[in-house]
Amino acid sequence: RHAMADAGDRHNADDVPEDDELLEPWQRVMRENARKAKVERFVELLRGILGPDELTNLAALVRDMDAKHRQKVAMKRWSEEERARELEDAAAPGVVAPPRPPPSFGIPGMHAPGVAPPVPPPRPPPS
């Protein structure tokens, strides 16, 4: 079998449902503990390979990637809602709703398309 086909089967090897609402409380605790143990093992492995500065840089990189991903998901959701709203408006003639602005993001250096980026505060003069 193909390696990707096995990846999906691995989750249900212990017959625990994927949906957390279907889990018994003890199953939820076991799953969470396993996740935490995996993360801790991974971080310990990274600490052995990377120095503290490299680890900090990696953490910042992951945080930025996560922020960009969340922004992308929010923009996709917004554009889908906007498209659905335009279809509703087209179906109801005579009623024109004002366009909704795109979601704003609290991510430094990131701004919604079509919106001017925020102006950074002036830097203090070197002393």
Same domain, 41 and 17: yes
Mean of all residue pLDDT scores within the chain: 76
pLDDT reading at 80 higher than 50: yes
CA dihedral for 70, 73, 76, 80, sign (positive or negative):
negative
> Which of these, 31, 1, 34, lies nearest to 16 by C-alpha position?
31
Instruction: List pLDDT tens digits, range 89-108.
Output: 777 766 666 667 766 655 55
Same domain, 41 and 55: no
Same domain, 43 and 55: no
Asked whether residue 29 is assigned to any structural domain, the reply reads: yes
Instruction: List pLDDT tens digits, range 4-33.
Output: 444 444 444 455 556 777 888 899 999 999
Residue range of the domain that includes 11: 7-49
